[in-house]
A and B are shown apart, each in its own frame.
Chain A
Amino acid sequence: MNWETVIGLEVHAQLNTKSKLFSGASTAYGASPNAHTSFVDAGLPGVLPVLNKEAVKKALQFGLAINAEINNHSYFERKNYFYPDLPKGYQISQFVRPIVGEGTLDVTLSDGSTKAVSIVRAHLEEDAGKSVHDAHPTFTGVDLNRAGTPLLEIVTSPCMYSAQEAIAYLKTLHQLVRFIGICDGNMQEGSFRCDVNISLRPAGSETLGTRTELKNLNSFKFIEKAISYEQAKHQDCLESGKTIIQETRLYSPDTNTTHSMRSKESENDYRYFPDPDLLPIFVSDAWLTSIKDTLPKPPSDIKAELQQHADLKEDDISFILATLETVSYFYSVKEQSSASAKQIANWMKGPYAAALNEAGLSFEHPPIDANILGDLLSRVTSNKLSSNHAKTVFSKLLAGEGALGDIIASGGFESSFDQEQLIAIIEKTITSNPKQAEDYKNGKTKLLGFFVGQVMKQTKGQANPADVSRLVEERLR
């Protein structure tokens, strides 16, 4: 029998607010245990939550970015269960009425087609703390630094049919939340985590099969592997005539398997009810409009803009779109330089990326300012600097050997001829090789390399081979 896999995803995106959802404590990652824990986060007797409006704004930004229905009246509820890292014995979440309703996210699949993934809701909730098992030989510790951190839980309908579709959606979502500036997307630190709901049904069937839920996956690779494993497991089970048990499972990267965490029967009755300590969230039209007007450009718009540069290839565009910082670096260079989009992309992908990689840096903290790279590339474009020399100058800039102009002057990198001189050399080379020129015109285009070589030799390698090639071609046409 042919089986169809059906996948629905729940993503917990940590909203990058400075303080927590209901307290003034910092959300910074990596502090010593309980250093970022206020009385409210610790759930001391007598404390009360106060909503962080910034988190609401970020949730609304997300809703607008996916063209979702915004509930201008939503409210918080308490999800009651006992756990040592849940200080109040309940999590403040949204249940019946989430702030963001139905929306869609367009996802480009590997075959180039677009799939509209349906997002059914996105709601605000607070994160729990962490149990620490290795701090003390006989006790488990509790670290509440993460407790109360704002999360946006983004839930899709069961509308994806393969691990590849799921990953494509997750990557698009990951890019979106980073680009609109609501989540840092750091998966190692748990800022973007995913629960996968998966079920199988006979191909063509309309009803969903029994699902299992894979919890807390925090890398695209693990998500893909976990889905593959679970998919195969479901299929084995169904084909051998057994029934799937609805349960929550955990993926172990070490063994590349999943194991049961809890069955549906042992699930808590969370006894949701509206939190009487908090007022409902009212979103005024004026506020929503102001958020809409200042919403950062979503990646799909930036992509469309980049596609306007005909010389940029698909892989150049995806390199630039990797992070918001890469995009802004690209555009700053573009603004300040006469270099072509393709030339800038090549430099960013090539020498710059290699240098960043080596230094363990990113375009978030570029070691060479965009205006300096722009200046460098402008000089190459106008033939004041050869490509080879440009690379040397770039290394020296990286090594901090001085300002751009100084490095070029002291190294004698400036081309000793200008455009006119170069053209003179080219024309002279053509006239002194009439046979080859004739052959080229008769179709022996491979001879272009010969002419370029001759010119480069005469300019002692200082000319830009690409420019030389272009100029020779023009004159032999």
Chain B
Amino acid sequence: MTQIAEVAQKMTRASKKFFYDPSTKLDWPEHLDASEWTMSPELVSLYGTELWASMSEAEQKKLSFYETGGFFSLVLNGERPLLEGMSHRLYTLEKDLEVTEYMHHFLDEENKHMMMFSTYCRKYLGKIYPEKKIPVARPMAKGEDDIAFFTKVLVVEELSDYYNVFMSDDDRLAKICRDLNRAHHVDEARHIHFGREYLKGLWERHASGWTQAEIDSFRGWLVDYINASWRDFLNPSVYRDAGIKDAYAAREMAIHSSVCREHRNRASVRFLKNLVACEILPKVPELQ
């Protein structure tokens, strides 16, 4: 049995053990208390900026409420193409039945996450923040499409997991927010373990046949993609809803803030070190 099949078998056992119904998994309150945080203040995207320092605690909590909606919308929107891409690769790219069995659980759990995140947004926010992406094709080396797909899967999972773990036990937060973050983390821990192994295998299979220019091109794209993913956290629509007058300027402030940049690097380091260990990146890059 291959290493990835062994990992898949182990993850399948865990998924069966922790199987749940998303409609009854969490205890949803009718309303959220405006005096509670819904996102840990240290994770709010403007934390550390002059604007954040100028806000009252009530204003900060209001921003944390909309940021939570933005965060859950972002993860939800990230999981949608994940479901499409994973379904497309079942029994085509991947034919090992041990691996495909786990991929079915993976898909099931991602669908459940989308249901829970959309329930939160619908119930408390009344909307999902939309993506602003327009599909643009780029030239790719042989196998790069699959590597890029599983890399994107890992980016959304690894970055969101940092937030999930941070907030799972933060007693300042409304209970539903702690519970939702914890529920997502429990499944994502398996997805990340599997995803790292799977991506490593794909990289070893395909990149060995690439030219150095193709490898450099992919690595350049990957670092740009991670930077762009962090910028997705900085959503002017969220800032507008929270009552910030110049939402675009607030976003620019967060992009250029050294405190925010340190946060982005700190939250990414575990993920980046793993990419280095897999030789997908030659060294841990300094993110913007």
Does A associate with B in a complex?
no
